[in-house]
Amino acid sequence: MDLGLADRTYVVTGGSSGVGLATVRALLDEGANVATCGRDAERLKRIGEHERLCTAVCDVRDADAVREFVRSSAEAFGGRVDGLVNNAGQSRMKRLDDTTEDDWRDELELKFAGVLNPLQAARAYLSASDAASVVNVNAVLAKQPETRLITTSAARAGILNLSKSLSQELASDGVRVNSVCLGLVDTGQWTRRHAAADSGLSYEDWQAELAADRGIALGRLGRAEEVAYAILALLSPRASYITGTSIDVCGGVGRGIL
């Protein structure tokens, strides 16, 4: 199926690794123009060069830097932006008694700035598109909080709430806003944790034990490209009647029906 992404322009934050990188590559494979940013210049270089790709070092918490990144990206591709993927972010593995005021402040700033700064920078371009779409990459933590990730869980829930509000606020401009909530995805952090655990298990068996412990029905971690496929589906003009919703890409982990 042709997703209708070819020759359109998409901005992806946090595109130098993991889900962001998989999304960048999937969009390029669909024939789209892609602009992506990250904080690590060396990681960005590893993406490689492509005639339909532009990259920039940028911290999503810096509104001025984000504005310049989006402006220059749009200019590079004919003055348009058709979609925005807000993917930049990280998890903070701390419980309540280990969490400082600065931890709370930093986590909330990163999560909310990571959505609001790129959106504000891209809003005028999106409003001019005939198929504008915003996808906020979130986590099932937004619906199923974990005490060992207390700040991240709270911030994720806030972003899910914000995404719903944005879908209503921006609908009159023709801009759709949806979320993808991921579970445990097989990225570099889990490879490192496997090595650090020194369990004697193969990575596949270690994954299976981890999946069982976390209640993942499919018995394994997800792959970054599996999340990217869901993101592209929501970006696609074929999803033109979908807004204000979230798709869980989590292997069936869940403690409820919502």
The total number of structural domains that make up the chain: 2
Domain for residue 63, yes or no? yes
Same domain, 102 and 204: no
Q: Is 50 helix (H, G, I), strand (E, B) or coil?
A: coil
Same domain, 28 and 38: yes
Alpha carbon of 242 to those of 102, 133, 222, 233: distances in Å?
A: 37, 10, 24, 10
pLDDT category of residue 258 using cuts at 50, 70 and 90: low
Same domain, 36 and 50: yes
Domain for residue 3, yes or no? no
Tell me what pLDDT residue 102 has.
81
Alpha carbon of 24 to those of 37, 68, 193, 235: distances in Å?
A: 10, 20, 26, 12
Section 139-146 average pLDDT: 88
Same domain, 217 and 108: no
Domain for residue 1, yes or no? no
Beta strands in the chain (DSSP E): 9-13, 33-38, 53-57, 83-86, 132-139, 175-182, 246-249
Same domain, 211 and 227: no
Convert the pLDDT of each residue in 82-132 to its tens digit: 999 999 877 766 676 677 888 879 889 999 999 999 999 999 999 999 999
Tell me what pLDDT residue 140 has.
92
Average pLDDT across the chain, whole number: 92
Convert the pLDDT of each residue in 172-216 to its tens digit: 999 999 999 999 998 777 888 888 888 889 999 998 998 898 889
Convert the pLDDT of each residue in 62-71 to its tens digit: 999 999 999 9
Domain for residue 254, yes or no? no
Domain for residue 67, yes or no? yes
- The predicted model scores a pTM of 0.93
Same domain, 179 and 193: no
- Structural domain range at position 232: 9-185+223-249
Phi then psi for residue 73, to 5 deg, are -65, -45
Tell me what pLDDT residue 193 has.
82
Domain for residue 256, yes or no? no
